[in-house]
Amino acid sequence: MNPGWYAPIISTSTYSTSVWVRATASVTVDVNLDLLNSSGAYVDSVSGPWVTLVPDTWTQLTLTGVKPASGETQAVVEPDFSQATTGTVIYWDDMSATSP
């Protein structure tokens, strides 16, 4: 993972994530919040439901109520695409991880 994508988190807060996704063909995708320790090592991941995209249509994926455990101090928002065929172009934009 790219450390430039890491966002600081604290275990006393609850987080929501969002990402807009699009593909040139029908693919399935979910959004993950990867939880890392202070060294950037992977500890855990929380995933949203799988969604099948309509080709060439932007779709917002969200995940709410993520509560980090003690020691999980950084997070990365990550869309996970599945069943893409050769030549499929995949886009994602406006990723966020927020705490109210």
Split into its structural domains, the chain has a count of 1
Name the pTM for this structure: 0.87
In a domain? residue 19? yes
For 29-65, write each residue's pLDDT tens digit: 999 999 999 999 999 999 999 999 999 999 999 999 9
Q: How far apart are CA 77 and CA 79, in angstroms?
A: 7
Q: What is the largest CA-CA distance in the chain?
A: 43
pLDDT given at position 1: 66
Q: Please give the distance of CA 84 from its chain centroid, rounded to a whole number.
A: 18
Q: Which CATH number goes with the domain that contains 28?
A: 2.60.40.10
Look at residue 93 and tell me if it is in a domain: no
pLDDT digits (tens, 9 = 90+) for 55-85: 999 999 999 999 999 999 999 999 999 888 8
Residue span of the structural domain in which 69 resides? 3-84
Q: Nearest 5 degrees, angle CA 39-CA 31-CA 25?
A: 130
For residue 28, is it within any domain? yes
The reported pLDDT for the residue numbered 4 is 83
